[in-house]
Amino acid sequence: MRVLVVNTGSSSVKLRLLGPDDELLCREDPPLDEGAVSEEKLAAAVEGFSGVDAVGHRVVHGGGEFSGAAVLDDGTVERLRGLTGLAPLHQPKALSGIDAMRRVLPETPQAACFDTAFHVNLPPEAATYAIPREWRERYPLRRYGFHGISHAYAVRRAAEMLGGDPGRLVTAHLGAGASLAAVRRGRCVDTTMGFTPLEGLVMNSRSGDVDPGLVLWLLRDAGFGAEEVAEGLERHGGLAGLTGTSDMRDVVRRAEGGDADCVLGLDVYLHRLRAKIAAMAAALGGIDTLVFTGGVGENQPVVRAGAAERLGFLGVGLDPEANDAARADADITGPAAFVRTLVITSREDIKIARDVRARLGGR
């Protein structure tokens, strides 16, 4: 089965046609038009992709309902639309891609794969917020977790690279969004994102964890409106709020040149990253393997080295030369380290294609 994978991002749509053995047959990245997928541009791109048997869409939020790939029909799409408020940066763009592709290829079976699915069986102690019972009973207020497609692929690829079970594994998906997952025997037991993709690590434009009292103070005492606070935390926080740029490449370059804001921004980013890796290790009772993936995790040796620098007490240590040279799937473990550290290229497209084939019965 040849699966066309549709991954709608912040500025473009990544289209990848994968063959039955996950070989990449075609690729195209048409831009978004004012944050939405252009049906015209999508149709033009797909015209060059011959022999599409099925379509798989990456969708950030599946709520607690979707634990695996779901066939897309009108009812499923409407249920996904109802989750937009839980992922306001991502869900509308994914839905615009789904709507457009269903019109472009109306006779082709299509399915959605969810970033939340990998975390749907989080243990209660990791999934539950300490908020009033009546709130939790009335509304679906729990920790959902995200980046699950990337985390799941990294788990499988780590096992392939190591020739067996990677043991107590922490996967670090570091990109525009960033999250960690603690994984034991293929099951996620904790993660850093929660009810929305705003919780957890410092990200490109998202704040990550802040004191809830700070948000209440902004709303109650500083006179901010809810939309203004949401805009600040989601689009103008994180590295953008600390340094003036949301691009980690610029932050690293300017920090190395002595820019004070970027030095602070990188320090804040790494401080939170190290603390959360240690927290994931605690959830596992230790750590045997650490994986870096995502655009930042794969391409920024400074970030990998900075994260590992103060994790020696866990047994983490990097080989400086291997770390600097790593560009694809690579082992960068230091000679005296007890924890294997890997750099893995994120291939969400492969994971989505496999899940779509399994759901639709293709080979």
| Burial of 73 from C-beta contacts in 10 A (0-12 / 13-18 / 19+) | exposed
Residue 87's identity, in one-letter code, is: A
Distances (CA, A) of 225 to 197, 219, 236, 240: 21, 6, 15, 21
% helix / strand / coil in the chain, to the nearest 5? 45, 20, 40
Hey, is 340 helix, strand or coil?
Answer: strand
Catalytic residue among 115, 190, 319, 355, which? 115
CB 148 within 8 A of CB 115: yes
Strand order across the beta sheet in which 330-331 lies:
187-191, 178-184, 169-174, 289-293, 340-343, 330-331
C-alpha distances out from residue 26 to 81, 154, 334, Å: 29, 23, 37
- CB-based contact 71:114 (threshold 8 Å): no
How open is the CA angle 92-93-98, to the nearest 5 degrees? Answer: 95
Name, in order, each residue with C-beta under 8 angstroms of 294's C-beta and a sequence gap of 6 or more. 147, 150, 172, 173, 174, 175, 178, 346
Residue 101's SS3 state is: helix
Active site residue 74: no
Q: Are 205 and 59 in contact (CB under 8 A)?
A: no
Q: Is 183 exposed, middle or buried (0-12, 13-18, 19+ CB in 10 A)?
A: buried
Cα angle 14, 19, 20; round to 5: 135
Q: How many CB atoms lie within 10 A of CB 131?
A: 10
Identify which of 340, 362, 339 has the alpha carbon closest to the alpha carbon of residue 352: 362
Cα dist. 110→7, 57, 237, 304 in Å? 13, 8, 35, 37
**Catalytic residue positions?**
115
